Chains A and B, each alone.
Chain A
Amino acid sequence: MGSVGAKDVPVLLTPDGLRIDGRRLNELRPLKITAGALHEADGSAFVEWGANKVMAAVYGPREVHPRHLQENNKAIVQCRYNMAAFSVDERKRPGLDRRSQEISKVIAEAFESAIFAEEYPRTSVDVYIEVLQANAGTRCAGVVAASVALADAGIPMVDLLPSVAVGKVAGKIALDLKKEEDNFGEADMPMALVPQSGRLVLLQMEGHLTRPELAEALDLGVAGCRQIYQVMKQALRDRYASDGPDPSGVSP
């Protein structure tokens, strides 16, 4: 580790523009996606993104439990985002907390707007996201894993939902914050994109950004999402390519 500044704040940005792990401001952490990682689920995916490890499983469309949540004209999306007790260095108390409830809700709403829910009235699409190892940006990793899992489960939707967080680190807008940048940075803004339409279906922010900074952050995030989108599509191709043995014929 480099020199340590006042109050143990690490140096987040070197004078020549390198971040704490040597990335540039517009660079993503290494991302690896495995589609179809679980056997029992209708669809699943495992995402390793920097030091994040996130598993997603999708079931459905299936009968709604509890029944009273059922909607007569469309499917509902139920999401459970959960962090394992061992996912962070100080043991996380297991179970629902306010943070995971909020994340579950915003993720479910993001997918509700992307799935063609009217095709399966009175059913539920259940999305389970388990964070096994956390290093900032787990809700984004969860959205990425879940949308690959949804495609793997054959659920009709407008598009995959790539997702990334943009933040402000040492006064600069940076893509895909890692833990130290999230903890000691000035802002953190996760988002999820529908590449087909360019719409954002998830956008949250913590911290402060000026208007020009916000515009810059949105642009950077959308560009990051488009890179992630390619990795997501490749993961699905790798799983299914042998079913349609002509990868060269695939449209860009």
Chain B
Amino acid sequence: MGSGHRSGHRGRGRGAESSHPSGERILVLPGEEIPAEGLRPGSGTYRVNGRIYASVLGLLSLRPPLVRIIPLSGRYIPKPQDTVVGTVTDVQGTFWLLDIAAPRWAPLHMTGTPWKIDFGETEQYLRVGDAVVVSVESIENTGRIGVTMLGDGLGKLEGGTIVEISPARVPRVIGRNGSMIQTITKLTDCQVAVGQNGRIWIDGPDEGIIRVRECLRMIDEEGHRSGLTERIQKYLESTQTPGSTHDYRSRIVGDLPHEAGPTNPIDLPTPPPLDLEDPAARAPAEESDNDLPPDY
């Protein structure tokens, strides 16, 4: 990890970031006291004797009345409305258990699917190892995660491959208004479904899948360095082979439906609605963008 990147060359309109007071992007570690007089402890912090300390590693966000830490690592923490990619880990009479890379497995009840299923028939629809796109419905205070398969772009995934990256990098994969994901899908002719949990499903021609995987690896490992979009673009253009594009379209249409889910996975690339903590999802106003490194 070099410290080579500074505020030198960044995209237009982000220059203002570098002039923010350094206080905006301070890295804090567990146990460090946060000088935040008059503020209330938010997520990633705790208070003892009126003093506020960080409980996780992350970036400091002072936004009255709250002080929060935006984590830079860690497992996916589910939030309602998140679209996630999961795999089936267990089949029961009326529900499946899904591994969605969260702290707990998430039960998907048969009433949360578009299928008419009788008790005990669950295994005819989804088996252990199958991949699905689901939406997080509820988080109970027991930690139970409720998910549903009813909704646009949700369903069983047929074919393709799944790549896992850090959930903290998902906003980078999507990019501002979906710019990154659009670049990737356009230049590789692949379909890509990005789960908020860092699981990403890819389908398309073999060489396209390989190139998408390489892009995702770059984002996962170098996502904190500036100029990422340009490097991805350059990589994709330099590896583009003429002709590979057209053969494929016809192939996938024939390949697809099977007894697939409610909606055709082809529609998936539309990035799911981003959460509000993700600055990329907020209004482009510069001032509201100061939580994360400018590259976000």
Using a CB–CB cutoff of 8 Å, the interface residues on chain A facing chain B are 42-43, 60-63, 72, 75, 116, 120-123, 151-160, 194-197, 233, 236-251
Contact = CB atoms under 8 A, between A and B. Distances in A.
B46 A151 contact: no
Interface residues of B, number: 41
Contact of A250 (B26, B73, B225): B26
A116 B33 CA distance: 17
Given A121-B142, A155-B74, A245-B25, A160 B31 contact: yes
Name, among B27, B104, B143, the residue most crowded by chain A CB atoms within 10 Å (CB to CB): B27
26 contacts: A61-B103, A63-B105, A116-B46, A122-B104, A123-B103, A154-B71, A154-B73, A156-B56, A157-B55, A158-B46, A159-B53, A194-B31, A196-B48, A196-B53, A238-B1, A240-B27, A242-B5, A242-B224, A244-B25, A245-B5, A245-B7, A247-B3, A250-B26, A250-B28, A251-B33, A251-B35
A244 B225 CA distance: 10
Contacts of B28: 250-251
B3 A60 contact: no
B31 A196 contact: yes
B65 interface: no
B114 to A, nearest CB: 27
Nearest to B74: A154
A123 B34 CA distance: 29
A61 B75 contact: yes
Given A236-B57, A245-B293, 5 more contacts: A156-B44, A241-B3, A243-B72, A244-B59, A245-B25
Contacts of A42: 73-75
B288 interface: no
Contacts of B30: 151, 156-160
Contact of A116 (B48, B55, B74, B293): B55
B22 interface: yes
Contacts of A243: 27, 59, 72, 224, 293
B32 interface: yes
A154 B27 contact: no
Nearest to B25: A244
Interface in B54-84: 55-59, 71-75
A72 B104 CA distance: 13
A120 B59 contact: no
A222 B60 CA distance: 28
B2 A242 contact: yes
A250 B60 CA distance: 10
A154 B75 contact: yes
Contacts of B224: 242-243
A246 B25 CA distance: 7
A61 B105 CA distance: 11
B29 interface: yes
Top 6 A-B pairs, shortest CB-CB distance: A154-B74, A159-B31, A249-B22, A61-B103, A244-B27, A154-B73
Contacts of B57: 151-152, 154, 236, 240
